[in-house]
Structure 1
Amino acid sequence: MNPRDHHPPRPRETPDRCALRSQLRDDPMIGTAFPAARLLLVEQPGPWGRQGLADSHFDRSVAAQLQARLGRSGVRVQAIRRPGRTPVGTVRRWAVVDTRDEHESLWWGSYVHDAELLELDPDDPAGAGGVADDDPVYLVCAHSRHDACCALRGRPVAAAFEALRPGRVWESSHLGGDRFAANVLVLPLGLQYGRVLPFAAAEFVAAAEAGEVIGALLRGRIGLPPAGQTALAHAHEELALRRRRDLQVIHVPAPVDGVAVVRLRSPRGDVDVTVRVEVVEATGLTCSNPRPSSFAGYRPVAIDPVPGRPAELVERDS
């Protein structure tokens, strides 16, 4: 196999695919974004095995060291590649991304030898020759060896986005939530979406470039606990605040008896959002595991102003 020909025969959408099962069950997506707020993106053309970067033509030992070292500081490593085939001789790129409030940034650099990345300090990307990038970047999960749905639904979305924003779109290794394919992560906003369709690419890109939250497709904001992601999504809708930077998380407590009260800061004052955690029974959460299983579902049930900080709110009964 040509290492840059990473598109094996396309799988078919059949009733046993996890994304279709999830869609028919209407599995809730909110609260399912992954917990890391900082990322290292590593361009690695060619095929990826189930483990992504560590299971590719990238040096396996270097990948293991990189993931272990950065993982200890809360940085998630993602393999990326360009949609379609990568031209022979292309210099591979890396990116350091921070999605935290008031720290949002994206820096690009390049590398020749895999081991060079072991010297990269994510706290000082400029010191490694990184160049700041202020425009949105789109990661589309197309990790077929992790789940067929990622390839089946992800690759057409990546192609549609690439046609609109050439060079701003990357196929990505596993982003979590295979059953929500196609999964798209907008950086450095840190907004993760599911069930994105190719024909909606233009509207999606327009909203992302305006810094808006696309509520109907939102899985959550990466780097936050699930209850915090759910509270944010609810507040965006109930307060009619459309921009990602309109809301900030102040405190996300651990759920007690299945309930968490999350405090947010909004332009109208601080608010408390009550989130209920429920166990949802389901079958076939991934294509490789058709057995009965379950997952934690997060449901917002109320939003209230914090005393002394009035806000215009709409309450929702449980």
Structure 2
Amino acid sequence: MTGHHGPRCSFVAEAAGDPLEGSAPPAQRWFLLEHPGPWGRDALTGSGLDPAVVTAITGWAADAGARVLLVRRPGRNASGAVRRWFRVDSRPGRESVRGGAVASAAELVDAVDAPGEPVAGPLNLVCAHGRHDTCCAVRGRPVAAALAAAAPGGTWECSHLGGCRFAPALVLLPHGYALGGIPAVDAVGAARDYAAGNLDARWVRGRTSLPPAAQAAQHHARAATGATGVDELRPVAVEPDGDAGWRVELADPDVAVRLRERWVATGRPLTCAATAPGRMRVFDLLDLRG
């Protein structure tokens, strides 16, 4: 990437201590499509995929509140003609991964509605989309390589997730927990914990199927209660509280959290590609009972 001066966005965010909580990108569901690459800056439209496939997948995603990502095996192994696809539901209580394989673009058009086969075991997605943000490639690939060595079947590099300044970015599916700034050695442990039903709370940005205030509330409730289970602290109510406040009620264990939401001017670009200073959302903990 030419013309980049100064430190990379993720190193600056790390040094500044940008809060992770409440920053997971929104996704109720996911459609993952194996596409070895190269990936254009906009992965779906810029990677030479058949336009009919792009139209079918983006139409389904808009209706389903889904995120579409291209995925590939770490290490850039060129894949054959057959491509894997996965359709993931990350909504609380409906977590599932179904998938299949196709040999042609025409079959892919049907994949969004195909029943697919249940896929066993979690999927680890690591953002490694260098054309979108250099940090993701530079910091993501070592994490993907470490995870692939430990859990080869379930690990994929993926296209742009969102929140490049939190690279390396890891998403644990089907729950859709987004982790940020996680070193390779910790990523292997975090993926192992998740497969056993637990979270390493140090790196959690939030769950993509929950609103940002609920993500932040879970973060504070985990810190207060020590609850680490992937299904613990289920949001039962997320309500506005005054002008910029939120009241979030969580169950299993029961915790009530009050937060204030504000936007902070950072005085710096928030991604490697950005040129203007950005602002970030911050949640302040006002009160926690349980």
CA distance in 2, matches of 1:152, 1:25: 20
TM-score of the two chains, using structure 2 as the length reference: 0.93
Q: CA deviation at 1:88?
A: 4.5
| 1:249-286: CA deviation from partner (whole Å, max 9, x where unpaired) | 1121246321100111124xx33211111222211101
Match of 2:82 in 1: 91
Identity, % of aligned positions: 38
Is 2:256 aligned against 1:272? yes
> Alignment partner of 1:192: what SS?
strand
Kindly provide the amino acid, as one letter, of the partner of residue 39 in structure 1.
W
Moved over 6 A (4+): none
Give yes or no for contact 1:94–1:108 (8 Å, CA) kept in 2: yes
CA distance in 2, matches of 1:118, 1:287: 34
- Structure with max Cα Rg: 1
CA distance in 2, matches of 1:289, 1:202: 31
Is 2:152 aligned against 1:166? yes
Give yes or no for contact 2:36–2:79 (8 Å, CA) kept in 1: no
Give yes or no for contact 1:139–1:172 (8 Å, CA) kept in 2: yes
Q: CA deviation at 1:300?
A: 2.5
> Alignment partner of 2:45: what SS?
helix
- Identify unmatched segments of 5+ residues in structure 2: none
- 1:287 is aligned, of 263, 272, 282, to 272
Give yes or no for contact 1:142–1:154 (8 Å, CA) kept in 2: yes
| 1:36-71: CA deviation from partner (whole Å, max 9, x where unpaired) | 111111111111111112211321342134213321
Match of 2:95 in 1: 104
- For the structure 1 residues 88 and 107, does the alpha-carbon distance in structure 2 shift closer, same or farther, using more than 3 Å as the test? closer
**Matched length:** 288
CA distance in 1, matches of 2:109, 2:98: 17
- For the structure 1 residues 224 and 88, does the alpha-carbon distance in structure 2 shift closer, same or farther, using more than 3 Å as the test? closer
> Alignment partner of 1:54: what SS?
coil
Give yes or no for contact 2:81–2:103 (8 Å, CA) kept in 1: no
> Alignment partner of 1:52: what SS?
coil
Match of 2:23 in 1: 32
TM-score of the two chains, using structure 1 as the length reference: 0.85
CA distance in 2, matches of 1:156, 1:19: 15
- For the structure 1 residues 209 and 238, does the alpha-carbon distance in structure 2 shift closer, same or farther, using more than 3 Å as the test? same
> Alignment partner of 2:197: what SS?
coil
Match of 2:175 in 1: 189
Match of 1:237 in 2: 223
> Alignment partner of 1:79: what SS?
strand
Give yes or no for contact 1:44–1:57 (8 Å, CA) kept in 2: no
Give yes or no for contact 1:44–1:53 (8 Å, CA) kept in 2: no
| 1:64-90: CA deviation from partner (whole Å, max 9, x where unpaired) | 342133212212211111111234425
Give yes or no for contact 1:261–1:275 (8 Å, CA) kept in 2: yes
Q: CA deviation at 1:152?
A: 0.6
Give yes or no for contact 2:88–2:98 (8 Å, CA) kept in 1: yes
Give yes or no for contact 1:261–1:272 (8 Å, CA) kept in 2: yes
- Identify unmatched segments of 5+ residues in structure 1: 1-9, 305-312, 314-318
Kindly provide the amino acid, as one letter, of the partner of residue 103 in structure 1.
R
